[in-house]
Amino acid sequence: MNYAVADEIRISEIFGPTIQGEGALIGQPTVFVRTGGCDYRCAWCDSLHAVDSRFRADWRAMSTEEVLDQVRTLSGDQPLMVSLSGGNPAIQPLGPLIRQGQAEGYRFALETQGSVSRDWFADLDVLVLSPKPPSSVMTTDWAALRACVESAVAGPQIVLKFVVFDAEDYAYARDAATRFPGLPVYLQPGNHTPPGPQDDDAFIDTDGILQRMGWLVDRVMADRWFAAHVLPQLHVLLWGNKRGV
């Protein structure tokens, strides 16, 4: 695994403000800082441009100040939520960015699969742990995921978020939730039509996604899993797989 060095952050794209499309912060105005590089290769990844090393030439090594300059410009110097995503942003040196941005009034949420824990997780405002279910063809390291929770337990709001494509994924989410009973759970139907690496205009099977959403709601209600939140990927329904929104 290639970690960034010094304070250089590998950036795939910075965009916004737009709304957060999923999870605990859905609908909230947000600037997105998408880092480049990931230690996973999920079968249905919808952001390969920030994951696959084939696109490394498109990533830019930026300092904390350079990233903040772009965030300030996009937000018009009005502090708002900043979402740190990827790839896996946990493999980047984001601690100084979080602390400096918070000193200026910005708030920071980070989403990671929970494979790498960092001490600066405790400085976040929101930590979204999104372990990958069987359909991803990845294997969860439960000890690593627990280390992520423990590294952040005294700091941010921590939530679990699961992409669900089928009954096996749903059972995985149920099992994971029992391992971390104190954490809020967010479930979302998987995007059935992930784009190719540069395919912003890929056809979106909206009917299929909504049918899976209905199935997921029915399963949660039948199981009386009333602690779970079931939400769509709002950005997919609005803009499909288009990048930068």
38-53 mean pLDDT = 87
In the chain, pLDDT over 90 holds for what percent of residues?
Answer: 72
CB-CB contact of 92 with 37 (8 Å): yes
**pLDDT value at residue 95:** 97
CB-CB contact of 120 with 93 (8 Å): no
Flag whether pLDDT at 234 surpasses 80. no
DSSP 194-207: PPPTT-TT----HH
Give the pLDDT band (50/70/90) at residue 125. very high
Per-residue buried b or exposed e for 70-101, using 16+ beta carbons within 10 Å of the residue's own CB: bbbebbeeeebbbbbbbbbbbbbbbbbbbeeb
- Which residues neighbour 242 within 8 Å (Cβ) at sequence distance 6 or greater? 200, 201
Q: Higher model confidence: residue 59 or residue 235?
A: 59
Q: Is residue 1 part of a domain?
A: no
Q: Is residue 3 part of a domain?
A: no
Flag whether pLDDT at 101 surpasses 70. yes
CB-CB contact of 26 with 20 (8 Å): yes
**pLDDT value at residue 197:** 46
**In this predicted model, what pLDDT tens digit does every residue of 186-230 receive, in sequence order?**
999 987 655 554 444 456 777 878 889 999 999 999 999 999 999
Q: Is residue 2 part of a domain?
A: no
Beta strand 126-129 pairing with 157-164: parallel
163-168 mean pLDDT = 95
CB-CB contact of 230 with 23 (8 Å): no
Which residues span the domain enclosing 52? 9-239
- What is the gyration radius of the CA atoms in the chain, in angstroms? 17
**pLDDT value at residue 198:** 46
Q: Is residue 60 part of a domain?
A: yes
**pLDDT value at residue 194:** 52
Closest CA to 189 of 223, 219, 159, 226: 219
**pLDDT value at residue 235:** 62
Flag whether pLDDT at 153 surpasses 90. no
CA distance 220 to 229: 9
**pLDDT value at residue 3:** 42
Lowest mean pLDDT among 15-24, 96-105, 129-138, 153-162: 15-24
**In this predicted model, what pLDDT tens digit does every residue of 133-147 receive, in sequence order?**
999 999 999 999 999
Q: Is residue 232 part of a domain?
A: yes
CATH number, residue 13: 3.20.20.70
**pLDDT value at residue 193:** 59
Q: Is residue 190 part of a domain?
A: yes
pTM for the full model?
0.89
CA distance 238 to 24: 18
Q: Looking at the 3D structure of the chain, how many domains does it have?
A: 1
Taking each continuous run of H as one helix and of E as one strand, the counts in the chain are 6, 9
Q: Is residue 215 part of a domain?
A: yes
Q: Is residue 162 part of a domain?
A: yes
